[in-house]
Chain A
Amino acid sequence: FTASLLLGTTMTISSNHWVMAWAGLEINTLAILPMISKSHHPRAIEAATKYFLTQATASALLLFSSMINAWQTGQWDITQLTNPTSCLILTSAIAMKLGLVPFHFWFPEVLQGTSLTTGLLLSTLMKFPPITLLYMTSPSLNPTVLTFMAILSTALGGWMGLNQTQIRKILAFSSISHLGWMTIIISYNPKLTLLNFYLYALMTTATFLTLHSTKASKLSTLMTTWTKAPALNAALLLTLLSLAGLPPLTGFLPKWLIIQELTKQDMA
């Protein structure tokens, strides 16, 4: 299944035609579904169902937007998406795929239903193709909508994360907020989006793997990890702080650059 995942991702990334992109996304969705429902737990099945429904909707919307564009402009090229309506629909489709507010409701529950490694894949690998698509179409997207969604994501991710006890849900919300950061800068400097994504992927991978090795899935379990693997616990601390964006750590870099870019655009 991992092979099909990789196939799907590569297809989407390297595509030039909308249908190719769509196909790659569909392969991804289908490939990860069995991985989500591997444990045959009712919650996993529920997560799989939710995931499938949202992703299917999103892919349909994607196709729909590309068709509108094709109908209006005759173009199937990804970088030439110029019709405003299709841009809007595309934005919402990608938001649904990524998990941006107001299309984020599925994300925490899906992440909670899977095991930690699958959750890792969901957070990092599955985000990659949609972000690539955004990157490619970034010049023609509507900044207002993007900014609106991004700000809401950042805020909501923070607020919702406060009230959680399950670590996977917390990580889901952290992912939502990071996505917010990524989206806000995409109309002005897409490279920063990519930088943010790479660093985020790195940090989240570290976090997920650490949590996986200590088998901590709840905050109460997390409390006692220091007895099992003290060094790893300390490393986890630093990684989490980096995720939060504390200055001397790496996580601060994308935030700083994004804010600088936004200030230049008079939006700070």
Chain B
Amino acid sequence: MDLSLVLNTFTLLTLTTLSTPIIFPLLSDSLKNTPSTITNTVKASFLISLIPMTIHIHSGSESLITLWEWKFIMTFKIPISLKLDFYSLTFLPIALFVSWSILQFATWYMASDPHATKFFTYLLLFLIAMLTLIVANNLFVLFIGWEGVGVMSFLLISWWHGRAEANTAALQAILYNRVGDVGLILCLAWLAYTTNTWEIQQLNSPHQTPTLPLLGLILAATGKSAQFGLHPWLPAAMEGPTPVSALLHSSTMVVAGIFLLIRTHPLLSSNQTAMTTCLCLGALSTLFAATCALTQNDIKKIIAFSTSSQLGLMMVTIGLNLPQLAFLHISTHAFFKAMLFLCSGSIIHNLNGEQDIRKMGGLQKMLPTTTSCLTIGNLALMGTPFLAGFYSKDQIIECLNTSYLNSWALILTLLATSFTAVYTIRMTVLVQTGFTRIPPLTPMNENNPAITSPITRLALGSIMAGLLITSYITPTKTPPMTMPLSIKITALVITILGIIIALELSKLTQTLILTKQTPLYNFSTSLGYFNLLTHRLTTKTLLTGGQNIASHLVDLSWYKLLGPEGLANLQLTTTKTITTLHSGLIKAYLSSFALSLLIILMSAH
């Protein structure tokens, strides 16, 4: 049997299965969607997509499918082609698995919503756009997927559009993403200009690529993956329903930026400036997000900042010239982050909409399944040995420690790792343990399989995924094998240190002392003053500048100062001055005559 044929067929089948819920309702009135049909479709797609992945793992076969060529100009062809290599074939099942679990969860979470079907359709559209991005061989198709996920993110964040904060958050998401898109378009333009192609496999430039298009790519990743500088939209995006946060802002959309950098890695690897930028930007994002997460009180915001921090870590990995490791981290991160979000969703719904961790506590006894999975997820996030996060995170930190690179980035990343431990433990302690602070009459029920099965499935994934993925792939770069003992266990030591500190600090909360507002605390709580500074300042400057140019400059200066009125004013001044000279006194006149005569005579001699 021709394996490549099977590979191609099943991948295409996966993608078409996903698009059936979109197409069928258009064909006939009786084929309406329901949340459960969409869930089942995604489940079927997932199962189908396992086959190409298995084929790839078994034989290492990759393929390239070209569907159609858009002959825009004769010299520049844009083929619509799909690349099925290691990255896309591995990520496809992972994304579909996570999406299936999230959709199943959403059937319970959005059960009381009148437009639940529309919600599911949106999620499906998002998924299709995301998968287009993943399998794209062409930066053009990737851009289509890129824009698609941006738009769906906007629609989904503002799902409860009656809420003003949701609308502003959606606007923030679109705007920040747009700023990043500028970078991507810059790179596309440069590529079209110099290499006359947008294909990914033709991206290998023999000489050094100039820094500008690479900075464009990094800008695109900054926008999409919420690195420092274009990051405020990610915590604000928590205004959307929890399934949205779980799907978009933890596993799939936010990794699109990192994925772009992985795909265009051949271009990046030769330029040292770009690498250093990635490294430092990633380190800064990691630390910043971790610092902000320390004092958050909203459970979803803590998880959002943790996502942001992990994205920074992925960016650091790219800066270390290790795209495969970054991809590994993307895959493992998807599992436990989605699970964390689903657990938080279950907690929120069970507490009747309460998201503040200061009003939760002791949930271990009340929601056992959810909280155990929450614990597993948090441990995976911290990089506990042999859970999923360990395989990727520990390896990243080892490589960081043993490389000849920026020590500042190293210190920041290590600090961020310990902070990860701190805020994770804080969240766990405040949510699960201790005395409960919830209102007395809160009926909690997690017996619904729609809640428990997705969460447990993802928990299983969090535990096994790391092991499975690393066992079945051959790394393209040899990981560092030998290093001093202290470096080997750095990540572990730092995490344990963070745990101890957090536990000690949590003991402080037992005593009734009011927390003082120190500057550091303020910095962390107000998200580093970044939101406050940029949102008002930049817009106000731009708008007033625009107003000045548009109306003031034209109306006031051109018309008044220089144009008609200006001329009139000029004449007026002269006229008034001269009129005062004509006083009417004959003596003055005659004397001026004499003076002029003298002057004329003098000047001639």
Pair A53/B590 contact, Cβ less than 8 Å: yes
Query: Residue-by-residue, is A82-107 near B (CB-CB < 8 Å gives 1, otherwise 0)?
Result: 00110011011000100000110110
In the complex, whether B600 has a CB less than 8 A from a CB of chain A is: yes
| B589 partner residues in chain A, CB cutoff 8 A | 50, 54, 105-106
Q: Which of B571, B588, B592, B597 touches A159 (beta carbons < 8 Å)?
A: B571
Pair A96/B593 contact, Cβ less than 8 Å: yes
| A89 partner residues in chain B, CB cutoff 8 A | 597, 601
Q: How far is the CA of A84 from the CA of B605 in the complex (A)?
A: 9
Q: How far is the CA of A49 from the CA of B585 in the complex (A)?
A: 12
Q: How far is the CA of A2 from the CA of B374 in the complex (A)?
A: 121
Closest Cβ–Cβ distance, residue A50 to chain B (whole Å): 5
Pair A156/B578 contact, Cβ less than 8 Å: yes
Given contacts A85-B601, A142-B604, A145-B600, contact A162 B586 (CB under 8 A): no
| A84 partner residues in chain B, CB cutoff 8 A | 604
Q: How far is the CA of A160 from the CA of B571 in the complex (A)?
A: 10
Of listed A102, A105, A145, residue having the most chain B CB within 10 A:
A105
In the complex, whether A26 has a CB less than 8 A from a CB of chain B is: no
In the complex, whether B596 has a CB less than 8 A from a CB of chain A is: yes
In the complex, whether A108 has a CB less than 8 A from a CB of chain B is: yes
Q: Tell me which residues from 574 to 598 in chain B have a Cβ below 8 Å from any Cβ of chain A.
A: 574-576, 578-579, 582, 584, 586, 588-590, 592-593, 596-597
Closest Cβ–Cβ distance, residue A183 to chain B (whole Å): 14
Task: Name 16 interchain pairs, CB-CB below 8 A, sorted by A.
Answer: A49-B586, A50-B589, A54-B593, A57-B590, A84-B604, A85-B604, A88-B600, A105-B582, A105-B588, A105-B593, A106-B586, A156-B578, A159-B571, A159-B578, A160-B575, A160-B579
Pair A162/B575 contact, Cβ less than 8 Å: yes
Chain B residue at minimal CB-CB distance from A156: B578
| B572 partner residues in chain A, CB cutoff 8 A | 162
Pair B592/A92 contact, Cβ less than 8 Å: no
Q: Tell me which residues from 484 to 520 in chain B have a Cβ below 8 Å from any Cβ of chain A.
A: none
In the complex, whether A227 has a CB less than 8 A from a CB of chain B is: no
Closest Cβ–Cβ distance, residue B29 to chain A (whole Å): 77
In the complex, whether A265 has a CB less than 8 A from a CB of chain B is: no
Chain B residue at minimal CB-CB distance from A87: B604
A-B interface, 5 closest residue pairs, ranked by CB to CB distance from nearest: A105-B589, A102-B596, A163-B575, A162-B575, A159-B574
Chain A interface size band reads 20 to 34
Q: Which of A57, A88, A102, A156 touches B601 (beta carbons < 8 Å)?
A: A88
Closest Cβ–Cβ distance, residue B595 to chain A (whole Å): 8
Q: How far is the CA of A103 from the CA of B604 in the complex (A)?
A: 18
Closest Cβ–Cβ distance, residue B567 to chain A (whole Å): 12
Closest Cβ–Cβ distance, residue A47 to chain B (whole Å): 11
Chain B interface size band reads 20 to 34
Say what secondary structure dominates the interface of chain A.
helix
Q: How far is the CA of A7 from the CA of B178 in the complex (A)?
A: 92
Chain B residue at minimal CB-CB distance from A164: B579
Chain B residue at minimal CB-CB distance from A92: B597
Q: How far is the CA of A108 from the CA of B589 in the complex (A)?
A: 12
Closest Cβ–Cβ distance, residue A97 to chain B (whole Å): 12
Given contacts A54-B589, A88-B604, A103-B596, contact A108 B582 (CB under 8 A): yes
Say what secondary structure dominates the interface of chain B.
helix
- Inter-chain pairs besides A105-B588, A159-B571, 17 sampled, C-beta below 8 Å: A53-B586, A53-B590, A54-B590, A57-B593, A84-B604, A88-B604, A89-B597, A92-B593, A96-B593, A103-B593, A103-B596, A105-B593, A106-B589, A109-B584, A160-B575, A162-B575, A163-B576
Closest Cβ–Cβ distance, residue B604 to chain A (whole Å): 5
Q: Which of A105, A108, A109 touches B592 (beta carbons < 8 Å)?
A: A105
Closest Cβ–Cβ distance, residue A140 to chain B (whole Å): 13
Q: How far is the CA of A92 from the CA of B584 in the complex (A)?
A: 21
Chain B residue at minimal CB-CB distance from A49: B586
Closest Cβ–Cβ distance, residue A54 to chain B (whole Å): 7
Q: How far is the CA of A89 from the CA of B586 in the complex (A)?
A: 21
Pair A162/B571 contact, Cβ less than 8 Å: yes
Q: How far is the CA of A4 from the CA of B574 in the complex (A)?
A: 41
Closest Cβ–Cβ distance, residue A82 to chain B (whole Å): 14
Q: How far is the CA of A91 from the CA of B601 in the complex (A)?
A: 11
Q: How far is the CA of A109 from the CA of B585 in the complex (A)?
A: 10
Of listed B575, B579, B582, B600, residue having the most chain A CB within 10 A:
B600
Chain A residue at minimal CB-CB distance from B597: A92
Query: Residue-by-residue, is A35-73 near B (CB-CB < 8 Å gives 1, otherwise 0)?
Result: 000000000000001100110010001000000000000
Q: Tell me which residues from 35 to 56 in chain B have a Cβ below 8 Å from any Cβ of chain A.
A: none
Q: Which of A61, A102, A159 touches B575 (beta carbons < 8 Å)?
A: A159
Pair A102/B578 contact, Cβ less than 8 Å: no
| B601 partner residues in chain A, CB cutoff 8 A | 85, 88-89
| B588 partner residues in chain A, CB cutoff 8 A | 105
Q: How far is the CA of A159 from the CA of B570 in the complex (A)?
A: 10
Q: How far is the CA of A145 from the CA of B605 in the complex (A)?
A: 13
Q: How far is the CA of A159 from the CA of B575 in the complex (A)?
A: 5
Q: How far is the CA of A155 from the CA of B572 in the complex (A)?
A: 13
| A105 partner residues in chain B, CB cutoff 8 A | 582, 588-589, 592-593
| A103 partner residues in chain B, CB cutoff 8 A | 593, 596
Of listed B571, B584, B592, residue having the most chain A CB within 10 A:
B584
Q: How far is the CA of A50 from the CA of B582 in the complex (A)?
A: 14
| A54 partner residues in chain B, CB cutoff 8 A | 589-590, 593
Q: Tell me which residues from 157 to 177 in chain A have a Cβ below 8 Å from any Cβ of chain B.
A: 159-160, 162-163
Q: How far is the CA of A96 from the CA of B597 in the complex (A)?
A: 10
Chain A residue at minimal CB-CB distance from B585: A105
Chain B residue at minimal CB-CB distance from A103: B593
Chain A residue at minimal CB-CB distance from B586: A50
| A49 partner residues in chain B, CB cutoff 8 A | 586
Closest Cβ–Cβ distance, residue A179 to chain B (whole Å): 16
Pair A91/B600 contact, Cβ less than 8 Å: yes
Closest Cβ–Cβ distance, residue B45 to chain A (whole Å): 82
Closest Cβ–Cβ distance, residue A151 to chain B (whole Å): 14
Q: How far is the CA of A252 from the CA of B571 in the complex (A)?
A: 23
Query: Residue-by-residue, is A147-159 near B (CB-CB < 8 Å gives 1, otherwise 0)?
Result: 0000000001001
| A85 partner residues in chain B, CB cutoff 8 A | 601, 604
| B600 partner residues in chain A, CB cutoff 8 A | 88, 91-92, 145
| A156 partner residues in chain B, CB cutoff 8 A | 578
| B574 partner residues in chain A, CB cutoff 8 A | 159
Q: How far is the CA of A85 from the CA of B603 in the complex (A)?
A: 11
Q: Tell me which residues from 165 to 200 in chain A have a Cβ below 8 Å from any Cβ of chain B.
A: none
Closest Cβ–Cβ distance, residue B408 to chain A (whole Å): 71
Q: Tell me which residues from 73 to 92 in chain B have a Cβ below 8 Å from any Cβ of chain A.
A: none
| A108 partner residues in chain B, CB cutoff 8 A | 582
Q: How far is the CA of A178 from the CA of B575 in the complex (A)?
A: 18
Closest Cβ–Cβ distance, residue A253 to chain B (whole Å): 26
Given contacts A92-B600, A142-B604, contact A160 B582 (CB under 8 A): yes
Chain A residue at minimal CB-CB distance from B568: A162
Q: How far is the CA of A85 from the CA of B601 in the complex (A)?
A: 7
Q: How far is the CA of A96 from the CA of B575 in the complex (A)?
A: 22
Q: How far is the CA of A142 from the CA of B605 in the complex (A)?
A: 12
| B578 partner residues in chain A, CB cutoff 8 A | 156, 159-160
Chain B residue at minimal CB-CB distance from A155: B574
Chain A residue at minimal CB-CB distance from B604: A88
| A106 partner residues in chain B, CB cutoff 8 A | 586, 589
Closest Cβ–Cβ distance, residue B343 to chain A (whole Å): 84
Closest Cβ–Cβ distance, residue A168 to chain B (whole Å): 14
| A91 partner residues in chain B, CB cutoff 8 A | 600
Chain B residue at minimal CB-CB distance from A96: B593
Chain A residue at minimal CB-CB distance from B573: A159
| A92 partner residues in chain B, CB cutoff 8 A | 593, 596-597, 600
Pair B579/A163 contact, Cβ less than 8 Å: yes
Closest Cβ–Cβ distance, residue B85 to chain A (whole Å): 77
Q: How far is the CA of A252 from the CA of B360 in the complex (A)?
A: 94
| A102 partner residues in chain B, CB cutoff 8 A | 592-593, 596
Q: How far is the CA of A106 from the CA of B582 in the complex (A)?
A: 9
Q: How far is the CA of A166 from the CA of B447 in the complex (A)?
A: 102
